[in-house]
Amino acid sequence: MADSLANRVAVRDRTVVAPATPVRARRSRARLVPLLYTAPALLFYAAFVIAPWLHSLWISFWDWNGIGVATWAGLDNYREILADPALRLSLVHAFGLILFYSVIPICFGLVLAALVANVPWKGMPFVRTVIFLPQILPLVAVGSVWKLFFDDDGPFNALLRAVGLSDLTRAWLGDFTWAYPAVGVVGTWVSTGLCFLLLYSGIGKIDPALYEAARLDGAGAIHEFWHVTVPGLRREMSVAATVTVIAALASFDVVYVMTAGGPGESTLVPGVAIYRLTFTAGQVGTACALAVVLSLLTCAVMFALNRLTREKT
């Protein structure tokens, strides 16, 4: 299917040839036409994404405060990322967020989708509308909502007090232990609806004959879930994982608004660290090195997920 349009254009090139121009020259020109259509988009992409990324790579080899003269630093900035506990921690935090942004939402979504799949309900459109809502909201506003929710005097503590758990109340976002999971929960809140709807639509595409066969073999609901539903959703799960993992590693908005990386460094993520290094610490070289490391790690994870699912199908 991918080449059908290309082949059709190719056929036309062979049949309609102007007698004046040599066949070969005309054909090679026609072959270049698609490239011309693609060029403007690629130009913008190269100028505002690829070029800045390469520039980031270049800056990462220099010791530069953003204003003064830069001195060559070789790989020093990268060594600093490995040596500096805070920067190392930021990368660990980014990967830890995968649990909140990807693993938990996919598990929730999977169970929910499997439960709901065969029970039609009039209320479903409403549920779908609400559950998808977090996907379209500005993440800053989402962070703001949850910052207020977890505030010392906010609704969450009020809720705990109302059910008699006032011992548990605390300033969640100011707590060295609890700030990180509190920030993570927001990721779960944002991703779960997306994962659920992806998997829900995937279940509809599983061949009903597989379920019938399983039932004829006397399989129970649990057996069906593990042996028909889960394998049948491998593609949707890998898509959900890819999208949410990228979001987890690139998280900035929510953390910046809720805790700005604090207290201490307990919620520091690479995005916030890059911002701090550039605009408050004046270590632009290190910031760019961290940016390079983050993007390479993201691409590596995406590649691994891609490979993982391709091998199995």
Partner 1 sequence: MIRSMTRLSLLAATASVLVPFYAIVAASLQPQDNLSPGLAWPSDPQWHNYVDAWSTGGFADLMRSSLIIALGVVPLALVLATLAGYGLAMMRLAVRGPIFALLMLGLALPYESIVIPLYYDLKSIGLLNTYWAVILPLIGAFMPFGVFWMRSHFESLPPELTEAAEMDGATSRQILRQVLLPTARPALTTLGLLYFMWAWNQFLLALILIQDPAMRTAPSGLGKFIQAYGRNIPLLSAGTIIVIVPVVILYLFFQRHFVKGILSGAIK
Query: In the range 227-286, which residues lie near partner 1 by CB under 8 A?
Result: 235-236, 239-240, 242-243, 246, 249-250, 252-253, 256-257, 270-271, 274-275, 278-279, 284
Minimum distance of partner 1 from residue 148's CB (angstroms)? 6
Residue 193 in contact with residue 187, Cβ under 8 Å?
no
CA dihedral 95, 98, 100, 105 (to 10 degrees): 180
What is the per-residue burial (b if ≥16 Cβ within 10 Å, else e) of 185-223? bbbbbbbbbbbbbbbbebbeeeeeeebeebeeeebeeee
Stretch that binds partner 1, among 71-79, 121-129, 176-184, 211-219 (CB under 8 A): 121-129
Q: Cα separation of 62 and 135, whole Å?
A: 38
Asked if residue 141 binds partner 1 (CB under 8 A), the reply is yes
Find the binder of partner 1 among 99, 131, 206, 219 (CB under 8 A). 131
Find the binder of partner 1 among 96, 134, 181, 262 (CB under 8 A). 134
Find the binder of partner 1 among 89, 104, 112, 255 (CB under 8 A). 112
Minimum distance of partner 1 from residue 124's CB (angstroms)? 8
Find the binder of partner 1 among 119, 209, 216, 222 (CB under 8 A). 119
Q: Among residues 42 and 83, whose Cβ is nearest to partner 1?
A: 42
Minimum distance of partner 1 from residue 100's CB (angstroms)? 14
Asked if residue 184 binds partner 1 (CB under 8 A), the reply is no
Query: How many residues touch partner 1 (CB under 8 A)?
Result: 114
Show the binding pattern over residues 34-63: x = contacts partner 1 (CB under 8 A), - = does not.
xxxxxxxxx-xxxxxxxxxx-xx--x----
Q: Cα separation of 39 and 41, whole Å?
A: 6
User: Which residue, 297, 308, 289, 252, is CA-closest to 80?
Assistant: 289
Return the residues of window 8-27 that contact partner 1 according to CB under 8 A.
8-12, 16
Residues 6+ apart with CB under 8 A from 289: 60, 77, 78, 80, 81
Return the residues of window 82-111 that contact partner 1 according to CB under 8 A.
108
Asked if residue 135 binds partner 1 (CB under 8 A), the reply is yes
Asked if residue 79 binds partner 1 (CB under 8 A), the reply is no
Residues 6+ apart with CB under 8 A from 232: 202, 203, 205, 206, 207, 210
Asked if residue 66 binds partner 1 (CB under 8 A), the reply is yes
Provide the residue type at 54 as one letter: L
User: Which residue, 37, 93, 126, is CA-closest to 249?
Assistant: 93
Give strand ranges (E) for the chain. Answer: 62-63, 71-72
Stretch that binds partner 1, among 74-82, 167-175, 207-215, 295-303 (CB under 8 A): 295-303
Find the binder of partner 1 among 146, 229, 255, 261 (CB under 8 A). 146
Q: Cα separation of 81 and 85, whole Å?
A: 8
Minimum distance of partner 1 from residue 164's CB (angstroms)? 15
Q: Cα separation of 100 and 106, whole Å?
A: 10
Find the binder of partner 1 among 84, 215, 282, 298 (CB under 8 A). 298
Q: Among residues 190 and 228, whose Cβ is nearest to partner 1?
A: 190
